C-alpha cells in the first residue's frame, strides 16, 4: 500500500489514537514544572552561600546542564544510570522525564528567582534586619512576596517552552502524544498525519497560553509601575 500521500481518512483514524497520549503529556508537563520550581530554589540558595569556591562550582554545574541538550540528559538518566556500579536504582520513564527535564529547567528558573530577589530594594533587607526578623520570616514575609510576583510572566514563558519540550520524552518510552504518533506511524507505515496532529495539539494548547502570559505580563508591569509612581509621589509629598 502506498502511504506516501496525504490521507484525510488516516488523519481521522490517527486523531483519537494520538489524543490518548495528551493526558500523559500534560501530567509530565505539570509534574516537571513543579519539580523545576522547587529545585530552582536549591540553585538559588546554593549560589547565595558566601563561599567563592562553592559558588564557582555551582555556577559551573548550572552552565554545564544548560549547555547540554536535554535529550542527552534524559538518555543518561534512563540508559546509563541503571548500569552505574553500586547505585542499584532503576528509574521509570516517567520519573526520568520529570527529573531530567526538571533539573534542566530548574537552572533557568533559579536564575529567574535570583533576578527577582536582586530587584528587591536594599532598604527592605535592612528593614528586616533592623526589625530582628528571623531568617525564615525575612524570606517568607519580606523578600519572597516582593521577589516572586515580577517573575511570574518569565516563569509562564518557561512553562510554555517546557510543554513543547516534553514530547522528546517519547524517546525513553513516555507514552505522550509524540510516542502515540510514532506508534501509529509504525503500525500503518504513515507518519505525516499523526505528526501533524501532534503539531496542531501543541499549537492549540501553547498559543492561547502564550497570549495569556502576555496579558499577565502587561498587567503585572502596569501594577508595578503604578506602585512605583505611588512611592515616588509619596516621597515628593513628604519632602
- Whether 3 is covered by a domain: the verdict is no
Residue 236: which pLDDT band, with cuts at 50, 70 and 90? very low
Identify the domain containing residue 198 by its residue range.
Answer: 8-238
- pLDDT averaged over the chain? 85
- In this prediction, residue 63 carries a pLDDT of 94
- Whether 222 is covered by a domain: the verdict is yes
Average pLDDT rounded to a whole number, residues 200-208? 91
- Whether 1 is covered by a domain: the verdict is no
Res 108 pLDDT > 60: yes
- In this prediction, residue 91 carries a pLDDT of 80
Range of lowest pLDDT (14-23, 97-106, 127-136, 171-180): 127-136
Residue 210: which pLDDT band, with cuts at 50, 70 and 90? confident
| Total tally of structural domains belonging to the chain | 1
Average pLDDT rounded to a whole number, residues 29-39? 96
Average pLDDT rounded to a whole number, residues 69-92? 78
- Whether 28 is covered by a domain: the verdict is yes
Answer with the residue of higher pLDDT: 192 or 215: 192
Percent of the chain with pLDDT over 70: 86
Res 238 pLDDT > 70: no
- Identify the CATH number of the domain in which residue 224 sits: 1.10.3720.10
- Whether 2 is covered by a domain: the verdict is no
Average pLDDT rounded to a whole number, residues 17-27? 95
- In this prediction, residue 153 carries a pLDDT of 84
Res 83 pLDDT > 80: no
Percent of the chain with pLDDT over 90: 51
DSSP the chain: ---SS--HHHHHHHHHHHHTTHHHHHHHHHHHHHHHHHHHHHHHHHHTSS-HHHHHHHHHHHHHHHHS-HHHHHHIIIIIGGGSTTT-----HHHHHHHHHHHHHHHHHHHHHHHHHHTS-HHHHHHHHHTT--HHHIIIIIIHHHHSGGGHHHHHHHHHHHHHHGGGGGGGT--SHHHHHHHHHHHHT--HHHHHHHHHHHHHHHHHHHHHHHHHHHHHHHHHHHHHHHHHHHHHHH-
- In this prediction, residue 130 carries a pLDDT of 84
Amino acid at each position: 500500500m502506498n502511504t506516501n500521500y496525504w490521507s484525510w481518512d488516516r488523519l481521522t483514524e490517527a486523531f483519537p489514537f494520538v489524543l490518548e497520549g495528551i493526558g500523559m503529556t500534560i501530567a509530565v508537563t505539570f509534574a516537571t514544572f513543579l519539580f523545576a520550581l522547587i529545585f530552582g530554589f536549591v540553585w538559588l540558595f546554593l549560589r547565595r552561600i558566601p563561599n567563592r569556591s562553592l559558588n564557582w562550582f555551582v555556577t559551573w554545574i548550572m552552565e554545564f546542564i544548560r549547555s547540554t541538550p536535554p535529550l542527552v540528559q534524559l538518555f543518561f538518566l534512563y540508559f546509563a544510570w541503571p548500569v552505574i556500579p553500586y547505585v542499584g536504582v532503576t528509574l521509570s520513564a516517567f520519573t526520568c522525564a520529570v527529573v531530567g527535564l526538571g533539573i534542566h529547567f530548574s537552572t533557568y528558573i533559579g536564575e529567574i528567582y535570583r533576578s527577582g530577589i536582586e530587584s528587591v530594594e536594599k532598604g527592605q533587607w535592612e528593614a528586616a534586619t533592623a526589625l530582628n526578623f528571623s531568617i525564615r520570616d525575612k524570606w517568607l514575609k519580606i523578600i519572597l512576596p516582593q521577589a516572586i510576583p515580577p517573575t511570574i510572566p518569565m516563569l509562564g514563558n518557561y512553562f510554555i517552552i517546557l510543554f513543547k519540550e516534553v514530547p522528546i520524552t517519547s524517546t525513553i518510552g513516555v507514552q505522550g502524544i509524540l510516542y502515540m504518533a510514532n506508534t501509529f506511524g509504525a503500525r500503518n507505515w504513515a507518519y505525516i498525519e499523526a505528526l501533524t496532529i501532534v503539531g496542531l495539539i501543541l499549537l492549540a494548547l501553547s498559543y492561547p497560553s502564550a497570549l495569556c502570559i502576555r496579558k499577565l505580563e502587561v498587567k503585572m508591569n502596569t501594577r508595578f509601575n503604578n506602585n512605583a509612581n505611588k512611592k515616588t509621589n509619596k516621597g515628593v509629598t513628604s519632602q
